[in-house]
Chains A and B, each alone.
With several copies, the nearest count.
Chain A
Amino acid sequence: MSPEKDAWDAEALKRALERAADLILSETETLTRADQAIGDGDHGIGMARGFNAVKAALPACEPTVPAVLETVGRTLMLKVGGSSGAIFGTLFMAGSKAVSEAPFDAEGFARFLEAGLEGVQKRGNARPGDKTLVDALAPAAAEARATLHQNGGASLGQCLHAAARAAGDGMERTRGMVATLGRAKTLGERSLGHPDPGAISMTLLLRGLAGAMNEAP
């Protein structure tokens, strides 16, 4: 565990978010197909619109950790549209309020996810099992906190990777769920077997952040 990578300053956080944006942008087609299967097919288009706007907005953003996260949230909220715009926007807006101006460390990351989850659930009233991105976000938040406590304090990198893994597992579990919220609700039993599109996006976001940790600055 190298101490200089144990936290991101605002500029490092920007770079990590750009990297996550690129991962989501490269998977637009996957998201489109997933939303075509059980939704209305616009999730990929919306996320691509949103994360392109995020990449455009980050460079000029005030270099503090809360400001960076708040900018991402505001941008996603205004550009994505539909349900996921409100949800991803809320995740970052609510999460930004839980972190300090100090560098973004494991504790900050865990707080970000916890506060983001709380905001998302307040905004959309989704509970685990409703087949939404909450089914990826909730285990990710829990796993980040558990990893942090487990070793009597873990690195940001350990927490990011653990959260991304948990999100991916949660996303896979949504295949077995019947949608009870949002547009996929219409399909009822027909949504079985397909993963939730928003849960895929959530997983990609965390994988992108985790991947940034391993890269040269």
Chain B
Amino acid sequence: MNKARKILNDPLRVADELLEGLVLAGDGKVVKLPGVNALVRPDLPEGKVALLVGGGSGHEPLFHGFVGKNMADGAACGDIFAAPSPDVPYEATKAIHRGNGVLYLYGNYAGDAMNFDIAAEMAAADGIRVETIRICDDVASAPPERASERRGIAGDLYMIKIAGGAAATYPTLDEVVRVTRKAVDNIRSLGVALAAGSIPQTGEPTFLLPDDEIEIGMGVHGEPGVGRQKMTSADALTAQMLERLLADLPFKQGDSVCLLVNSLGSTTMMECLIVNRAARALLAERGITVHATDIGPYVTCQEMAGFSITLMRLDDELRRLYDLPADSVGYRKMGKAGA
């Protein structure tokens, strides 16, 4: 495999520079805190429940690209593929707290959990109430009995959409926590890796996959999944993935869902649309209706080839929150009612 061709300056300053670019792309809607790689919304009203997200960088637009109206209020950004040190979420917490508590929402990885936990303890010492929910949507990473040990992958987008909507409309942290937990319970994802992305500092592949083999359920950094197999057709692959995904919640006839086909990086929208076609046919067969669809590179791992399918089962409350308009650099959306 050739080294990836990357458009970079100093490979060690990637996180700093991308955040600067992101703040500028936000056109005034997000600001960076001095001294730490945290982005926050400057315009939060007093009393708003605050939503803080974050994790390693290199997965753009996740997480820091999802700060904005009806999305996250702040993001704590680590170095490439590395958890932020606790001062980053801690400073972000102080900056977005409006007297009504802060929800920490991030992917369930050990480094993130430790550092956000420390930040939460520091915030608690300052009298700020913090609650934590870890995103664990990847069905390949642990069996259903140990669902809370699962990794967070593309379900991050829907988690932030729901939690962000709740934090924008609900008056108490308890309410926001309640609906965000409900989202955790109703979101499932499964991915497939076709080829590795690269580590920006070195251009080396993030993992090795034999030619012509793919791995279903492989994590976004190459973490082991369900198993390796030969490449197959889009329809067969989608069927195989959906079968496992649907059985997990399980999703049932009559369910209404949001469907996300997420590109891991270099897989094109063309391919994701072909996957969407196959997925919709299978969902229709099972009597599952799709309320709304998102397609694109939202949770990526550099130019990794592959995609994931995420389903979020809706009730009226989740549907209402999903349908809120959203405005962030990485995810934008008109409201359902139009404008």
Which candidate, B61-69, B220-228, B231-239, B309-317, is the interface stretch facing chain A? B220-228
Q: Which of B63-121 contact A (CB under 8 A)?
A: 78-79, 81-87, 110-111, 114-115, 117-118
In the complex the two chains form, is A86's CB within 8 Å of B114's CB?
yes
Residue picked from A42, A45, A78, A90, most chain B C-beta under 10 Å: A78
Residue picked from B12, B83, B115, most chain A C-beta under 10 Å: B115
In the complex the two chains form, is A41's CB within 8 Å of B111's CB?
no
Q: Find A186's partner among B118, B199, B224 (CB 8 Å cutoff).
A: B224
Q: B294 CB to closest chain A CB, in angstroms?
A: 28
Closest chain A residue to B91, Cβ basis = A78
Using known A-B contacts A81-B82, A182-B110, determine if residue A90 contacts B118 with beta carbons closer than 8 Å: yes
In the complex the two chains form, is A85's CB within 8 Å of B110's CB?
no
Task: Say whether chain A's binding surface is mostly helix, strand, loop, or mixed.
Answer: helix
Query: What is the CA–CA distance of A80 and B110 in the complex, to the nearest angstrom?
Result: 15
Query: What is the CA–CA distance of A87 and B114 in the complex, to the nearest angstrom?
Result: 8
In the complex the two chains form, is B224's CB within 8 Å of A42's CB?
no
Q: B297 CB to closest chain A CB, in angstroms?
A: 22
Q: A179 CB to closest chain B CB, in angstroms?
A: 11
In the complex the two chains form, is A78's CB within 8 Å of B87's CB?
yes
Task: Say whether chain B's binding surface is mostly helix, strand, loop, or mixed.
Answer: loop
Q: Which of A36-72 contact B (CB under 8 A)?
A: 40-42, 45
Residue picked from A45, A183, A188, most chain B C-beta under 10 Å: A183
Residue picked from B83, B86, B110, most chain A C-beta under 10 Å: B110
Collect the chain A residues with CB atoms within 8 Å of residue B202's CB.
41
Q: Does B201 sit at the interface, judged by CB under 8 A?
A: yes
Closest chain B residue to A93, Cβ basis = B118
Q: B174 CB to closest chain A CB, in angstroms?
A: 26
Query: What is the CA–CA distance of A40 and B87 in the complex, to the nearest angstrom?
Result: 22
Q: Find A81's partner among B12, B84, B221 (CB 8 Å cutoff).
A: B84
Closest chain B residue to A120, Cβ basis = B114
Q: Does A185 sit at the interface, judged by CB under 8 A?
A: yes
In the complex the two chains form, is A85's CB within 8 Å of B115's CB?
yes
Closest chain A residue to B223, Cβ basis = A186
Collect the chain A residues with CB atoms within 8 Å of residue B265's CB.
none
Query: What is the CA–CA distance of A181 and B219 in the complex, to the nearest angstrom?
Result: 14
Collect the chain B residues with CB atoms within 8 Å of residue A78's CB.
85-87
Using known A-B contacts A86-B118, A90-B118, A188-B224, determine if residue A42 contacts B82 with beta carbons closer than 8 Å: yes
Q: Does B207 sit at the interface, judged by CB under 8 A?
A: yes
In the complex the two chains form, is A82's CB within 8 Å of B78's CB?
yes
Q: A97 CB to closest chain B CB, in angstroms?
A: 13
Q: Does A103 sit at the interface, judged by CB under 8 A?
A: no
Query: What is the CA–CA distance of A181 and B149 in the complex, to the nearest angstrom?
Result: 12
In the complex the two chains form, is A79's CB within 8 Å of B111's CB?
no
In the complex the two chains form, is B224's CB within 8 Å of A81's CB?
no
Collect the chain A residues with CB atoms within 8 Å of residue B82's CB.
40, 42, 81-82
In the complex the two chains form, is B114's CB within 8 Å of A123's CB?
yes
Query: What is the CA–CA distance of A85 and B84 in the complex, to the nearest angstrom?
Result: 9
Q: Find A89's partner among B12, B79, B86, B199 (CB 8 Å cutoff).
A: B86
Q: Does A77 sit at the interface, judged by CB under 8 A?
A: yes
Closest chain A residue to B37, Cβ basis = A81
Using known A-B contacts A40-B82, A77-B86, A188-B224, determine if residue A82 contacts B199 with beta carbons closer than 8 Å: no
In the complex the two chains form, is B87's CB within 8 Å of A83's CB?
no
Q: B115 CB to closest chain A CB, in angstroms?
A: 5
Q: Find A41's partner among B78, B84, B201 (CB 8 Å cutoff).
A: B201
Query: What is the CA–CA distance of A114 and B238 in the complex, to the nearest angstrom?
Result: 51
Q: Which of B131-184 contact A (CB under 8 A)?
A: none
Q: A88 CB to closest chain B CB, in angstroms?
A: 11
Q: Find A82's partner among B111, B117, B221, B224 (CB 8 Å cutoff).
A: B111
Using known A-B contacts A40-B199, A41-B201, determine if residue A86 contacts B207 with beta carbons closer than 8 Å: no
Collect the chain A residues with CB atoms within 8 Å of residue B117's CB.
86, 123
Q: Does A211 sit at the interface, judged by CB under 8 A?
A: no
Q: Does A193 sit at the interface, judged by CB under 8 A?
A: no
Residue picked from A45, A87, A186, most chain B C-beta under 10 Å: A186
Residue picked from B79, B83, B84, B118, most chain A C-beta under 10 Å: B118
- Give 15 A-B contacts (CB < 8 Å), ordered by A residue: A40-B81, A41-B199, A42-B79, A77-B118, A82-B82, A82-B83, A82-B85, A83-B111, A85-B86, A86-B85, A90-B114, A123-B118, A183-B221, A186-B207, A186-B222
Shortest beta-carbon contacts, A-B, top 8: A86-B114, A78-B87, A81-B85, A83-B111, A82-B82, A85-B85, A186-B223, A86-B115
- Other A-B contacts than A42-B79, A123-B118, A188-B224, 13 sampled, CB-CB below 8 A, are A40-B199, A41-B199, A45-B12, A77-B118, A81-B78, A81-B85, A85-B86, A86-B117, A87-B114, A183-B111, A185-B223, A186-B207, A186-B223
